[in-house]
Chain A
Amino acid sequence: MASLTRADVEHVAFLARLGLTEEEMARLEGQLNHILDQYAVLQTLDTEHIPPTAQVIELANILREDVVQPSLSVDEALTNAPERSDTGHFVVPAILGGGGGA
């Protein structure tokens, strides 16, 4: 089974949008590889003809009437916003132009 390099740890941390310190990355590299070693046992099982199980309840396609139901007011929905506008919106960091990167 594959083992994780330091570069993999950095890549996965970026995918997960986790800013990690040098110390955290070093510790995680060892710990994650130790955990991945435990996964190897699964490769001893032949599962070629076994269907996957994503969930265990026998419910599917739960539908309801498309009618308006009570919900939070704008003010309630914004209670926890780190930053909000006077016009009732979340203020989010710019993602296009004007200082936004990527």
Chain B
Amino acid sequence: MTDPTRLHAHEMAALLRGGETTSRALTEAHLAAAERQNRALHAWLVIYRDEALAQADAADKRIAEARLAGASALARLHPMCGIPIGLKDLVSVKGGQATAGSAILKGYLAPFDSTVTARLREAGAVIIGKTNMDEFAMGSSTEHSAYGPTANPWDLTRVPGGSSGGSAAAVAAFHAPVAIGTDTGGSIRQPGSMCGVVGMKPTYGRVSRYGIVAFASSLDQIGPFGRDARDAAALLHAVSGHDPRDATSAPEPVPAELLSLPAGDDEAASYLKGRRIALPKEYFVAGIEAGVAARIREAVAAMESAGAKVEEVSLPHTEYGLATYYIIAPAEASSNLARFDGVRFGHSDRSSGEFIDDYLRTRGAGFGAEAKRRIMLGTYALSAGYYDAYYLKAQKVRTLIKGDFDAVWAAGFDAICAPTSPMTAFPLGAKLQDPVAMYLVDACTLPINMAGLPGMSIPAGLSDGLPVGLQIIGAPWSELSMLRLARAYEGITARAPWRALEPAELELTDDPTTPGPIERMARLTAASAGAGGQSERTQR
């Protein structure tokens, strides 16, 4: 058998059902890869070897019993049964850590399972560990993790994107075929794009957020990573659906067809015939890298050749998206993060003997630079005298941004295609001293969160050796159509040479002399201190 880590989850599922492999064998192979390469990648904050193997054995038992019970019992098993998976470290797993990338949650142990965790257990998935992330999902590079950055397997001197950079890097590095992330302004799609994997932010309300550490509650959504559309669809199916424990989860049916996207490339490609695709002109303006724009235009042209009808549209309020988002998201964050007060859980400093000072010390020491910046922005935007000028204004502009998208659906388009990020993965440290430059990385993804729409990023080739992501944006609850479109694009590009490439520097992570991202960042910090804080150089 070929290296099991190179299989897609749907291929693993077929082998498991046929008795040609076991979940234990698959899990062992993935654990070994993760353990061997994590020093140089730092995609994982914790790897659960013993627990994962126990879950794998339980999955093998379920599969064996189903096989004895007959074809219909086998068919009732979820495709995720026995499949190794990584969870972003803000998903509660009972008895395990959930740091959310923050020092303030160091040592915290979740007293209950999130709904996503419970549904994955029910499906029989094997949780092999928790992945690195920007603190409280605030960031676009995973450099804002209190536990150190993650490297991009395509170029170890570069970031994997963020905030779900650990999940994206782990899937790109074949440490797991699928992983869970969260997306508040692009935190699944953007690292998916930079690591060359599929990542989807479903419609707001599609996946229950019970047991997930909150960032901005009107924007946060949980979603899947995979190395193809079929795997992302199967994972989405496993975790979706109404949950009485999350009042914002919608009573919307989960389509069973998510589990039967076409296997054949030609059949998949036929979906494109007659589809109307909108290309928003505002997503191709200032700041977009030429290589990114070229790949996206080529991808759309390929869909057009396969029978899609592509028309340019305007989303006129796009330019206001960044400012609107950076008022609304920090405002909600400042409110959500008020709970970290050192009283019930998390870091607690009671050394002052005076309760206000205890709060100041606890929160001052527990939060990192970006979390503090957002708490400050949000508190200011909500404070007396500024509420109307900032927060209320932003909520009104949000209405206009959502209206732009509503007009596209009213005009009968099936989907919008755009770049996921205006740039490919950037060097570690390059944007760390300039928050506004970091915020611009998400300019093409955050309007979708404000409109509550589903969006996904799929690999669309390389620019200078780095992955480019094509973003597909859909109408509310249209995930199935979007995944069919993504699968169709896979079908028409199945024989493209870039499809066969593995992340260029993944092999280097097997070499014990290759520095890890934490070491690289320490060198950069030392170098920039030596150069008066101006250095943006990267070193190997």
Contacts and interface: CB of A to CB of B under 8 A. Distances in A.
Contacts of A14: 360
Interface string B483-504: 0000000000000000000000
Give the most central of B342, B344, B439: most A CB within 10 Å: B344
Contacts of A7: none
B326 A35 contact: yes
B356 A17 contact: yes
A57 B476 CA distance: 10
A20 B367 CA distance: 10
Given A18-B363, A50-B396, A82-B350, A95 B355 contact: yes
Interface string B235-251: 00000000010011010
A79 interface: yes
Interface string B399-427: 11010000000000000000000000000
Contact of B363 (A12, A17, A64, A102): A17
A52 interface: yes
A97 B459 CA distance: 62
B111 interface: yes
B350 to A, nearest CB: 6
A59 B354 contact: no
A45 B344 contact: no
Interface in B238-282: 244, 247-248, 250
A56 B247 CA distance: 13
B182 interface: no
A76 B379 CA distance: 32
Given A19-B363, A59-B248, A99 B354 contact: yes
B373 A59 contact: no
Contact of A51 (B204, B248, B399): B399
Interface string B326-352: 110000001000100111111010100
Query: Helix, strand, loop or mixed for chain B's interface?
Result: helix
B364 A19 contact: yes
B390 interface: yes
Interface residues of A, number: 56
A21 B361 CA distance: 10
A4 B348 CA distance: 30
Given A42-B393, A52-B399, A59-B205, A18 B380 contact: no
Contact of B111 (A13, A20, A35, A77): A77
Given A24-B372, A35-B377, A72 B111 contact: yes
Interface string A61-95: 01010000000100011011111000000101111
B287 to A, nearest CB: 14
A81 B350 CA distance: 13
Contacts of A51: 396, 399
Contacts of B376: 9, 12-13, 16, 18, 28, 32
Given A53-B402, A76-B111, A82-B348, A99 B395 contact: no
Contact of B436 (A21, A35, A72): A35
Nearest to A92: B343
Contacts of B373: 28, 31-32, 35
Contacts of B353: 99
Interface string B463-479: 00000000000000000
Contacts of A81: 344-345
A80 B108 contact: yes
Interface of A: 1-2, 4, 8-9, 12-21, 24, 28, 31-32, 34-35, 38-39, 41-43, 45, 47, 50-57, 59, 62, 64, 72, 76-77, 79-83, 90, 92-95, 99-102
23 contacts: A1-B389, A4-B380, A9-B376, A16-B376, A18-B360, A35-B435, A35-B439, A42-B323, A50-B396, A50-B397, A51-B396, A52-B396, A52-B399, A55-B218, A55-B452, A56-B218, A57-B452, A77-B111, A82-B342, A82-B345, A90-B343, A93-B355, A101-B356
